[in-house]
């Protein structure tokens, strides 16, 4: 759907993007995360066609947009809806007037424009604010209007740079809901740049971690979550070692990650039952990634067939991330 190929960009000879490649599936949400200064905004600006990369391609439905100019560039821009970093609404226009701007650029006639603006206000849940000026709206409401504006011309890709950076957690939720609705109801492909893992947790299907202009980790969130080397996983999973445990009380001590309703609900009791072992929860907890429950537990297992139980857990879909005490682990 949208493909970024080997993008490079430097400013005054200082490289900011060093060959960034990404692939976002149609109708999915990719979160680009990374520390401040990693080049996230530069990447976003290249994708928004505001900055021309030094080399590489940005393809939407197969067409490279980086080489375009003039009218072709302006038309290409309508395929990519952009929510820029920071306040970007026209302060002299109402919420409805702001949403109408892309439609005016596209030459949509008045009556059609009004009905389209109505649909978008409805999508972002701000129908009652149609006539309000940006200064009369809260930060979260302004961001939702900015999202509605980005969607107005019917783009196939929605790009948002730090859409929640200035917002409190509650308001962040309302903006994320709107991004999620855009994907669900309009089928747009969403690329969201953020340093806030809550955004990733709530709406992203895929994650790319950017560091010093390079993608250092990239994949489906639910795949990364079981990967013991993944930074995304360690940022999102509940911490396990809050309480020190006396490991000598158990035959095996291991960290496991469980993904999905079935795994979280039934895997451990079933393992205990099948292998006649006692499974104790020593730490960790439960969280959610979008709708999917995800758990990371530290288990203390007692019983002769503890190894078989762990093996079975891993075959049944659990991820045994680390055995602290056991054949490959640390002996007490």
Partner 1 sequence: MRSATPWSDVLNRLVEATGETLYMVGVATLIATLFGIPVGVWLQLTSPGGLRPQANLHRVLSFVTDLGRSMPFIVLLVALMSVTRLVVGASIGTSAVIVPLSVGAIPFVGRLVQNILSEVHVSVVEAAVTTGASTVRIVRSVLIRESLPALINAIGVTVIALIGYSAMAGVIGGGGLGDLAIREGYQRFNARLLWSTVAWLAVLTTVIQFGFTRAARASDRRRHASV
Ligand X SMILES: Nc1ncnc2c1ncn2[C@@H]1O[C@H](COP(=O)(O)OP(=O)(O)O)[C@@H](O)[C@H]1O
Nearest to Mg ion of 198, 222 (CB atom) = 198
Q: Determine, following the binding rule CB under 8 A, whether residue 149 of this chain makes contact with partner 1.
A: yes
Can you list the alpha helix ranges (DSSP code H) found in the chain? 40-47, 70-77, 95-105, 110-123, 139-152, 169-186, 197-203, 221-224, 231-236, 261-275, 306-315
Which one of the spans 33-41, 101-109, 124-132, 304-312 is the region binding ligand X (CB under 6 A)? Answer: 33-41
The tokens for 203 are: 């709406």
Count of chain residues binding partner 1 (CB under 8 A): 36
Count of chain residues binding ligand X (CB under 6 A): 10
Task: Tell the smallest beta-carbon distance from residue 74 to partner 1 (Å).
Answer: 4
Q: Determine, following the binding rule CB under 6 A, whether residue 229 of this chain makes contact with ligand X.
A: no
CA dihedral 61, 63, 66, 67 (to 10 degrees): -170
Which listed option, Mg ion, ligand X, partner 1, none, makes contact with residue 36 (CB within 5 to 8 Å by class)?
Answer: ligand X
Q: Phi and psi at residue 286, in whole multiples of 5°?
A: -115, 145
Q: Determine, following the binding rule CB under 8 A, whether residue 190 of this chain makes contact with partner 1.
A: no
Task: Tell the smallest beta-carbon distance from residue 187 to ligand X (Å).
Answer: 28
The tokens for 307 are: 């190894």
Q: Determine, following the binding rule CB under 6 A, whether residue 16 of this chain makes contact with ligand X.
A: yes
d(Cα 134, Cα 94) in Å, to the nearest integer?
7
Task: Please give the residues from 116 up to 145 whose contact with partner 1 meets the rule CB under 8 A.
Answer: 133-136
Which x/- pattern over 72-91 shows residues binding partner 1 (rule: CB under 8 A)? --xxxxx-xxx-xxxxxxxx
Q: Determine, following the binding rule CB under 8 A, whether residue 48 of this chain makes contact with partner 1.
A: yes
Can you list the alpha helix ranges (DSSP code H) found in 4-152? 40-47, 70-77, 95-105, 110-123, 139-152
Binding positions for ligand X, rule: CB under 6 A: 11, 16, 34, 36-42
């Amino acid at each position: 759907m949208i493909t970024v190929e080997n993008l490079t960009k430097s400013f005054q000879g200082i490289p900011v993007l060093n060959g960034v490649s990404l692939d976002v599936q149609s109708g999915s949400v990719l979160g680009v995360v990374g520390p401040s200064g990693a080049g996230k905004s530069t990447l976003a600006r290249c994708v928004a066609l505001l900055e021309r990369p030094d080399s590489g391609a940005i393809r939407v439905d197969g067409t490279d947009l980086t080489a375009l100019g003039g009218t072709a560039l302006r038309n290409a821009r309508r395929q990519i809806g952009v929510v820029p970093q920071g306040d970007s609404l026209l302060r002299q226009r109402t919420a409805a007037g702001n949403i109408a701007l892309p439609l005016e650029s596209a030459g949509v006639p008045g009556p059609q424009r009004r009905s389209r603006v109505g649909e978008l206000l409805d999508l972002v849940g701000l129908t009652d604010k149609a006539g309000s000026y940006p200064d009369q709206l809260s930060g979260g409401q302004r961001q939702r209007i900015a999202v509605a504006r980005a969607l107005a011309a019917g783009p196939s890709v929605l790009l948002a740079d730090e859409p929640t950076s200035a917002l409190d957690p509650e308001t962040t939720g309302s903006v994320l809901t709107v991004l999620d609705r855009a994907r669900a109801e309009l089928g747009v492909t969403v690329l969201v740049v953020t340093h806030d893992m809550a955004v990733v947790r709530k709406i992203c299907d895929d994650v790319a971690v950017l560091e010093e202009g390079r993608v250092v980790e990239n994949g489906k969130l639910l795949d990364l979550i079981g990967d013991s080397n993944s930074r995304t996983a360690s940022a999102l999973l509940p911490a396990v070692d809050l309480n020190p445990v006396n490991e000598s009380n158990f035959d095996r001590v291991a960290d496991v990650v469980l993904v999905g309703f079935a795994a979280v609900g039934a895997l451990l009791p079933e393992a205990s039952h099948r292998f006649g072992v006692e499974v104790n929860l020593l730490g960790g907890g439960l969280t959610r990634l979008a709708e999917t429950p995800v758990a990371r537990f530290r288990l203390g297992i007692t019983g002769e067939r503890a190894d078989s139980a762990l093996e079975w857990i891993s075959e049944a879909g659990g991820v045994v991330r680390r055995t602290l005490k056991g054949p490959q682990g640390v002996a007490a």
